[in-house]
Amino acid sequence: MIKNRLLAVVMAVLFASSLLTAQTSLLNEQQVNTAARLSAQQHGIQRSISGSTLPELLDHVFDSLTSLSSIKGFNAAMLMPDSSIWKRASGLAAQIPTQQQLTTDHLMGMGSISKSFVSATLLLLSEDGLLSLDDSIGTYLESYPNVPGYTTIRQLLSHRSGISDYLNENPAMSEAWLSNLDSIWVADTILRNYVLAPNFPVGTSWSYSNTNYLLAGRIIENITGQPWYDVVRARILDPYQLSHTSAYPWESHGTQPFAHAYGDFDGNGTVEDLQGLGLPDEGLFSMASSAGSLLSTPEDLVQFSRLVYGGHLLQDTTLDEMLTDYVQDGSGFEYGLGVSMYPLGGSLENHGHDGSLIYKSFALYFPSEDMALAVQQNDDRLSVPLPDDGPFDLFVLSLALLDTYLNYTIPSATHDLKQDIQELTLSPNPAKEITHIDFNLPTYSHIRVTINRIDGSAIQSIDFGMMEVGRHALEINLNDIPSGVYFVTLQNNDQRILRSLVKQ
């Protein structure tokens, strides 16, 4: 029966409180050893990057990596500093009743990124003088079992309330949903019946809890007299033309296609089309409510990320409050008021959130670059092995796209070498011990070749000095380089040309 088959996936993927911590660990590991983890992609990237523009390079990286993955579908977008948007999709949106290809227009659940929208809305209300972050939640809410009324709004939004997570810490919640798959859940029903005793005294520690944001949604409703999602729409979605974002199942997403979600019920590595099998997804999303029920596209997510974290929505002092770290555990992972910062390597500042409601989502803004990146997948699996056992998922894809952006140098519009970019090739590629860089040099130039890891750090740099006009073939010894995926750059006086290399 579908209920029995759903139970396994529900317990594994419903807003796992450990998921955010696990994802943080995953990202910590990726910044150190991303290239090694991507080594299984060595048979997929067998051609050099043919384009010279950043969108072409992003297309190449996206296509090369996703083409090898069994994850059903990926959707990605990047908002550039000039406000142009790159976007790309691959895979399947549905298999039942008919097979449909995923496009960049398909909606997916953003999961806990919804918390950033709810937090931003409450912060806007605080700027209007309708609440203070240090107000007790009992000022605005009825008394609920196991919910201390003296908890402050700030403690809710920062996950320092100690309030138990109704989705992860009470199995009765999942069991109730499975017994009522097509029911539309009401927040007060959950708050009155499915919140267990607090995990710690208010304000004494940090623990991720979806209950905090179910309560935050009720605060918005009691202050405004409107459903929380109507207020999010009035304050953020409509004024800033985020037309691909909606609260499911309460708001209609119109004619915009909604990608099906895929889950692996029996752990055999094969996922199934949940909506195609007849899962009433309205009940699942209503249970998430203001903790995670928003649908969106990566295009809207990058627009939202820049809007909020780029300083275009909130006052500066309010944004500073939002970005204050309340975890402070020395791990490099930070959490503010509905916003995370992930240790992606070096001192690269980033702000955003990840989300999981079977669909997986990841959205970040990078202040130093004024760039935003978002990736979604409609598949509940993470770290899925590629053909040679290297793990892959939306986080690995996100890092590859990020590093493509960070390693890209705009070709000179006037330099003679631009006309020969297409002639630069790596052969063999993939390579074991040696590869050759073949290129044409139209002017007498100083040439340097650098091999970078996916995380951007240089692993080898060779200075070839001044080179004559003409065709050249440079031999690069790879014996001291571990297996993995790398970026190779050839640089002369004023131009840097990027290619991907797979070391077997």
pLDDT in tens, 484-497: 667 787 877 666 67
Question: Could you tell me the residue ranges of all domains in the chain?
Answer: 2-37+72-380, 416-503
pLDDT value for 339:
97
Q: Which amino acid is at 317?
A: T
Distance CA 158, CA 120 (A): 13
Distance CA 468, CA 338 (A): 57
**Could you tell me which of 358, 322, 3, 361 has the C-alpha nearest to residue 133?**
322
For the domain with range 416-503, which CATH number is right: 2.60.40.3080, 3.30.420.80, 3.40.605.10, 3.20.20.80? 2.60.40.3080
Is this prediction's pTM over 0.75? yes
Rounded to 5°, angle at Cα 335 from 120 and 163: 85
Secondary structure, 3-state, 370-428: CEEEEEEECECCCCEECCCCCEECHHHHHHHHHHHHHHCCCCCCCCHHHHHHHHCEEEC
347 neighbors 105 (Cβ within 8 angstroms): no
429 neighbors 435 (Cβ within 8 angstroms): yes
pLDDT value for 28:
31
Distance from CA of residue 61 to its chain's centroid? 16
Distance CA 137, CA 160 (A): 13
**Domain 2-37+72-380 identical in fold to domain 416-503:** no
Distance CA 227, CA 220 (A): 8
pLDDT value for 241:
97
Q: What is the dihedral of CA 317, 318, 324, 326, to 10 degrees?
A: 140
The residues of the chain scoring below 70 in pLDDT are 1-52, 265-267, 269, 345-346, 388-390, 409-423, 453-457, 484-485, 493-496, 504
**In the CATH scheme, what is the code of domain 2-37+72-380?**
3.40.710.10
Q: Which amino acid is at 30?
A: Q
Indicate the average pLDDT of the chain. 84
281 neighbors 275 (Cβ within 8 angstroms): yes
Q: Where is 210: in which H helix or E strand?
A: helix 210-224
**Could you tell me which of 368, 365, 394 has the C-alpha nearest to residue 381?**
394
Distance CA 445, CA 466 (A): 5
Q: Which residue has the tokens 């710690």?
A: 200
Distance CA 344, CA 287 (A): 32
What letter does residue 52 receive in the DSSP assignment?
A: -
